[in-house]
Structure 1
Amino acid sequence: MVFTIKDMSFKAGMEMKVSGKVKSECEGFSINIGHDTNAIALHFNPRFNENVIVCNSNSGSWGDEHREHCFPFQKGNEFKLIITFNNDTFYIKLPEGTMMSFPNRFGDDTFKHIHVVGDVKIESLKVK
Protein backbone atom coordinates (compact mmCIF):
# COMPACT_ATOMS: atom_id res chain seq x y z
CA MET A 1 0.00 0.00 0.00
CA VAL A 2 1.18 3.50 -0.76
CA PHE A 3 -1.34 5.67 1.16
CA THR A 4 -4.95 6.50 2.02
CA ILE A 5 -6.59 9.88 2.51
CA LYS A 6 -9.90 9.53 4.34
CA ASP A 7 -11.27 13.05 4.67
CA MET A 8 -10.51 15.08 1.58
CA SER A 9 -12.94 17.24 -0.35
CA PHE A 10 -12.94 16.39 -4.05
CA LYS A 11 -16.00 17.97 -5.62
CA ALA A 12 -17.41 17.98 -9.15
CA GLY A 13 -15.57 20.55 -11.27
CA MET A 14 -12.37 20.42 -9.20
CA GLU A 15 -9.07 19.05 -10.50
CA MET A 16 -6.97 16.37 -8.85
CA LYS A 17 -3.38 16.55 -10.08
CA VAL A 18 -1.32 13.46 -9.34
CA SER A 19 2.44 13.34 -9.95
CA GLY A 20 4.46 10.25 -9.30
CA LYS A 21 7.10 7.81 -10.41
CA VAL A 22 6.52 4.24 -11.49
CA LYS A 23 8.92 1.88 -9.72
CA SER A 24 11.25 -0.08 -11.99
CA GLU A 25 9.78 -3.45 -10.90
CA CYS A 26 6.17 -2.28 -11.28
CA GLU A 27 3.51 -4.74 -12.43
CA GLY A 28 0.70 -2.30 -11.73
CA PHE A 29 -0.77 0.28 -9.43
CA SER A 30 -4.18 1.73 -8.73
CA ILE A 31 -5.67 5.04 -7.72
CA ASN A 32 -9.09 4.57 -6.12
CA ILE A 33 -11.48 7.48 -5.55
CA GLY A 34 -14.73 7.10 -3.66
CA HIS A 35 -16.38 7.13 -0.24
CA ASP A 36 -14.25 4.39 1.39
CA THR A 37 -12.37 1.21 0.44
CA ASN A 38 -15.71 -0.57 -0.18
CA ALA A 39 -17.35 2.19 -2.23
CA ILE A 40 -15.00 3.03 -5.11
CA ALA A 41 -16.39 5.31 -7.80
CA LEU A 42 -13.17 5.29 -9.88
CA HIS A 43 -10.63 2.47 -9.84
CA PHE A 44 -7.81 3.62 -12.17
CA ASN A 45 -5.42 0.69 -12.70
CA PRO A 46 -2.48 0.73 -15.18
CA ARG A 47 -1.40 -2.89 -15.71
CA PHE A 48 2.10 -3.30 -17.10
CA ASN A 49 1.77 -7.03 -17.80
CA GLU A 50 -1.09 -6.26 -20.23
CA ASN A 51 -0.11 -2.71 -21.32
CA VAL A 52 -3.65 -1.56 -20.57
CA ILE A 53 -5.37 0.84 -18.17
CA VAL A 54 -8.38 -0.77 -16.48
CA CYS A 55 -11.06 1.44 -14.94
CA ASN A 56 -13.92 0.13 -12.86
CA SER A 57 -16.17 0.89 -9.89
CA ASN A 58 -17.17 -1.11 -6.84
CA SER A 59 -20.22 -0.67 -4.62
CA GLY A 60 -20.21 -4.12 -3.08
CA SER A 61 -19.17 -5.85 -6.29
CA TRP A 62 -17.12 -4.84 -9.31
CA GLY A 63 -18.90 -3.49 -12.37
CA ASP A 64 -17.95 -3.97 -16.02
CA GLU A 65 -14.33 -3.06 -16.74
CA HIS A 66 -13.40 -0.29 -19.15
CA ARG A 67 -10.07 -0.99 -20.87
CA GLU A 68 -7.99 1.82 -22.36
CA HIS A 69 -5.25 0.59 -24.69
CA CYS A 70 -3.40 3.90 -24.83
CA PHE A 71 -0.62 3.14 -22.32
CA PRO A 72 1.72 6.11 -21.74
CA PHE A 73 3.32 4.74 -18.54
CA GLN A 74 6.88 3.37 -18.42
CA LYS A 75 8.65 1.57 -15.61
CA GLY A 76 11.10 3.86 -13.81
CA ASN A 77 9.57 7.03 -15.31
CA GLU A 78 7.68 9.93 -13.80
CA PHE A 79 4.08 10.70 -14.75
CA LYS A 80 1.39 13.33 -14.25
CA LEU A 81 -2.38 12.78 -14.31
CA ILE A 82 -5.25 15.23 -14.04
CA ILE A 83 -8.61 13.83 -12.90
CA THR A 84 -11.85 15.82 -13.03
CA PHE A 85 -15.46 14.70 -12.83
CA ASN A 86 -19.11 15.66 -12.89
CA ASN A 87 -22.25 13.70 -11.94
CA ASP A 88 -21.99 11.68 -15.17
CA THR A 89 -18.32 11.15 -16.00
CA PHE A 90 -14.74 11.03 -14.75
CA TYR A 91 -12.20 12.59 -17.13
CA ILE A 92 -8.56 11.54 -16.89
CA LYS A 93 -5.81 13.40 -18.73
CA LEU A 94 -3.01 10.87 -19.14
CA PRO A 95 0.71 11.53 -19.51
CA GLU A 96 1.41 12.81 -23.04
CA GLY A 97 -2.02 14.52 -23.07
CA THR A 98 -4.39 11.73 -24.11
CA MET A 99 -7.84 12.08 -22.55
CA MET A 100 -9.93 9.15 -21.39
CA SER A 101 -13.24 8.97 -19.58
CA PHE A 102 -15.12 6.61 -17.32
CA PRO A 103 -18.76 6.88 -16.19
CA ASN A 104 -19.49 8.20 -12.71
CA ARG A 105 -21.70 5.22 -11.89
CA PHE A 106 -22.42 6.61 -8.42
CA GLY A 107 -23.72 9.92 -9.82
CA ASP A 108 -22.27 11.71 -6.78
CA ASP A 109 -20.73 15.17 -6.83
CA THR A 110 -18.36 14.79 -3.84
CA PHE A 111 -15.83 12.13 -2.87
CA LYS A 112 -13.78 12.11 0.33
CA HIS A 113 -11.57 9.03 -0.01
CA ILE A 114 -8.49 8.26 -2.11
CA HIS A 115 -6.52 5.05 -1.79
CA VAL A 116 -3.33 4.36 -3.78
CA VAL A 117 -1.75 0.90 -3.93
CA GLY A 118 0.98 -0.77 -5.96
CA ASP A 119 4.51 -0.20 -7.18
CA VAL A 120 4.39 3.58 -7.46
CA LYS A 121 5.73 6.56 -5.54
CA ILE A 122 3.28 9.48 -5.39
CA GLU A 123 5.31 12.68 -5.25
CA SER A 124 2.44 15.17 -5.29
CA LEU A 125 -1.35 15.14 -5.03
CA LYS A 126 -3.20 18.45 -5.29
CA VAL A 127 -6.94 19.07 -5.33
CA LYS A 128 -8.21 22.50 -6.32
Structure 2
Amino acid sequence: MADNRIVLYNFSLKPGHSIGVKGFIPEGCKGFAINLGKDNKNFVLYFNPRLDHVDGDKNRLVLNSLEDGVWGAEQRESFFPFHEGSDTMACFKFEQDKITIQLPCRDPFSFQVRFPIEEISYLSLISLQLKSITLK
Protein backbone atom coordinates (compact mmCIF):
# COMPACT_ATOMS: atom_id res chain seq x y z
CA MET A 1 0.00 0.00 0.00
CA ALA A 2 1.17 3.50 -0.74
CA ASP A 3 1.91 5.61 2.30
CA ASN A 4 -1.09 7.89 1.80
CA ARG A 5 -2.02 8.22 5.48
CA ILE A 6 -4.42 10.30 7.58
CA VAL A 7 -4.30 10.03 11.37
CA LEU A 8 -6.71 11.46 13.96
CA TYR A 9 -5.85 11.50 17.67
CA ASN A 10 -7.48 12.67 20.87
CA PHE A 11 -11.15 12.04 20.19
CA SER A 12 -13.28 9.86 22.44
CA LEU A 13 -15.48 7.12 21.02
CA LYS A 14 -17.17 5.36 23.94
CA PRO A 15 -19.07 2.05 23.84
CA GLY A 16 -22.49 2.50 22.21
CA HIS A 17 -21.20 5.14 19.78
CA SER A 18 -20.10 4.83 16.17
CA ILE A 19 -17.79 6.32 13.62
CA GLY A 20 -18.60 6.47 9.93
CA VAL A 21 -15.94 6.82 7.26
CA LYS A 22 -16.63 7.81 3.65
CA GLY A 23 -13.84 7.77 1.11
CA PHE A 24 -12.74 7.25 -2.45
CA ILE A 25 -10.72 4.22 -3.55
CA PRO A 26 -8.22 5.56 -6.12
CA GLU A 27 -7.47 3.87 -9.45
CA GLY A 28 -4.58 1.44 -9.06
CA CYS A 29 -5.26 0.95 -5.34
CA LYS A 30 -4.11 -2.51 -4.18
CA GLY A 31 -5.86 -2.19 -0.82
CA PHE A 32 -6.57 0.22 1.99
CA ALA A 33 -6.84 0.14 5.77
CA ILE A 34 -8.94 1.77 8.45
CA ASN A 35 -7.46 1.33 11.93
CA LEU A 36 -9.28 2.06 15.19
CA GLY A 37 -7.70 1.91 18.63
CA LYS A 38 -5.55 3.71 21.21
CA ASP A 39 -2.41 4.48 19.16
CA ASN A 40 -0.29 3.15 16.28
CA LYS A 41 0.68 0.03 18.26
CA ASN A 42 -2.79 -0.86 19.57
CA PHE A 43 -5.65 -1.35 17.09
CA VAL A 44 -8.88 -2.79 18.42
CA LEU A 45 -9.76 -3.13 14.71
CA TYR A 46 -7.57 -3.31 11.61
CA PHE A 47 -10.00 -3.18 8.67
CA ASN A 48 -8.14 -4.08 5.46
CA PRO A 49 -9.95 -4.56 2.12
CA ARG A 50 -7.38 -6.13 -0.23
CA LEU A 51 -8.11 -5.58 -3.91
CA ASP A 52 -4.86 -7.11 -5.18
CA HIS A 53 -2.50 -7.65 -2.25
CA VAL A 54 1.19 -8.59 -2.61
CA ASP A 55 0.66 -11.91 -0.79
CA GLY A 56 -1.91 -13.03 -3.37
CA ASP A 57 -5.13 -11.93 -1.66
CA LYS A 58 -7.60 -10.61 -4.24
CA ASN A 59 -10.94 -9.11 -3.31
CA ARG A 60 -10.63 -10.23 0.31
CA LEU A 61 -11.58 -8.32 3.45
CA VAL A 62 -9.13 -8.97 6.31
CA LEU A 63 -9.83 -7.94 9.90
CA ASN A 64 -7.34 -8.13 12.75
CA SER A 65 -6.17 -6.55 15.98
CA LEU A 66 -2.79 -5.22 17.04
CA GLU A 67 -1.87 -5.24 20.73
CA ASP A 68 1.44 -3.71 21.86
CA GLY A 69 2.71 -4.06 18.27
CA VAL A 70 1.78 -7.76 17.99
CA TRP A 71 -0.79 -8.90 15.41
CA GLY A 72 -3.59 -11.27 16.36
CA ALA A 73 -5.21 -13.95 14.20
CA GLU A 74 -6.76 -12.69 10.95
CA GLN A 75 -10.50 -12.87 10.38
CA ARG A 76 -11.27 -13.10 6.65
CA GLU A 77 -14.58 -12.21 5.05
CA SER A 78 -15.60 -13.25 1.55
CA PHE A 79 -18.07 -10.39 1.05
CA PHE A 80 -16.27 -7.66 -0.92
CA PRO A 81 -18.16 -4.50 -2.04
CA PHE A 82 -15.01 -2.48 -2.85
CA HIS A 83 -13.77 -1.37 -6.31
CA GLU A 84 -10.97 0.93 -7.46
CA GLY A 85 -12.17 4.26 -8.78
CA SER A 86 -15.28 4.30 -6.58
CA ASP A 87 -16.65 5.81 -3.40
CA THR A 88 -17.05 3.63 -0.35
CA MET A 89 -18.32 3.89 3.18
CA ALA A 90 -18.16 1.91 6.40
CA CYS A 91 -19.70 2.48 9.81
CA PHE A 92 -18.09 1.01 12.94
CA LYS A 93 -20.15 0.77 16.15
CA PHE A 94 -17.99 0.31 19.25
CA GLU A 95 -19.50 -2.02 21.80
CA GLN A 96 -17.67 -3.23 24.91
CA ASP A 97 -17.05 -6.72 23.48
CA LYS A 98 -17.19 -6.15 19.70
CA ILE A 99 -17.10 -3.73 16.81
CA THR A 100 -20.20 -3.99 14.63
CA ILE A 101 -19.41 -3.13 11.01
CA GLN A 102 -21.97 -1.89 8.49
CA LEU A 103 -21.02 -1.85 4.81
CA PRO A 104 -23.19 -0.97 1.79
CA CYS A 105 -25.48 -3.78 0.59
CA ARG A 106 -24.66 -6.07 3.52
CA ASP A 107 -26.13 -7.02 6.88
CA PRO A 108 -23.99 -5.85 9.79
CA PHE A 109 -21.27 -8.22 11.00
CA SER A 110 -18.88 -8.02 13.94
CA PHE A 111 -15.30 -8.33 15.06
CA GLN A 112 -14.58 -9.30 18.66
CA VAL A 113 -12.71 -6.81 20.86
CA ARG A 114 -9.61 -8.79 21.89
CA PHE A 115 -8.17 -6.59 24.64
CA PRO A 116 -9.70 -4.24 27.23
CA ILE A 117 -10.30 -0.74 25.92
CA GLU A 118 -12.44 1.98 27.51
CA GLU A 119 -12.56 4.28 24.49
CA ILE A 120 -11.30 4.51 20.93
CA SER A 121 -9.17 7.65 20.54
CA TYR A 122 -7.10 6.86 17.42
CA LEU A 123 -8.11 6.48 13.78
CA SER A 124 -5.81 6.03 10.81
CA LEU A 125 -6.66 5.71 7.13
CA ILE A 126 -4.13 4.30 4.71
CA SER A 127 -4.49 4.55 0.91
CA LEU A 128 -8.09 5.77 1.09
CA GLN A 129 -8.93 9.33 0.02
CA LEU A 130 -11.04 10.71 2.87
CA LYS A 131 -14.35 12.39 2.07
CA SER A 132 -15.90 12.56 5.56
CA ILE A 133 -15.86 11.20 9.10
CA THR A 134 -18.96 11.17 11.26
CA LEU A 135 -19.08 10.49 15.00
CA LYS A 136 -22.42 9.42 16.46
Question: What is the TM-score with the length of structure 1 in the denominator?
Answer: 0.94
CA distance in 2, matches of 1:58, 1:86: 18
Residue identity opposite 2:124 in structure 1: H
Q: What does 1:1-128 correspond to in 2, within 5 Å?
A: 1-49=4-52, 50-59=58-67, 60-118=69-127, 120-128=128-136
Q: Tell me the number of residue pairs that the alignment of Structure 1 and Structure 2 aligns.
A: 127
RMSD: 1.1
Q: Kindly provide the CA deviation profile for residues 50-100 of structure 1, in whole angstroms up to 9, marking residues without a partner as x.
A: 111100001131000000110001111111211102111111101223322
Residue identity opposite 1:47 in structure 2: R
Is contact 2:13-2:94 (8 Å) kept?
A: no
Residue identity opposite 1:84 in structure 2: K
For residue 107 of structure 1, report the CA deviation from its aligned partner.
3.2
CA distance in 2, matches of 1:75, 1:98: 22
Question: What is the TM-score with the length of structure 2 in the denominator?
Answer: 0.89
For residue 15 of structure 1, report the CA deviation from its aligned partner.
1.5
Aligned partner of residue 7 in structure 1, secondary structure: strand
CA distance in 1, matches of 2:36, 2:100: 13
Residue 55 of structure 2 is matched in structure 1 by: none
Structure 2: runs of 5 or more not aligned: 53-57
Once the two structures are aligned, what percentage of the paired residues are identical? 33
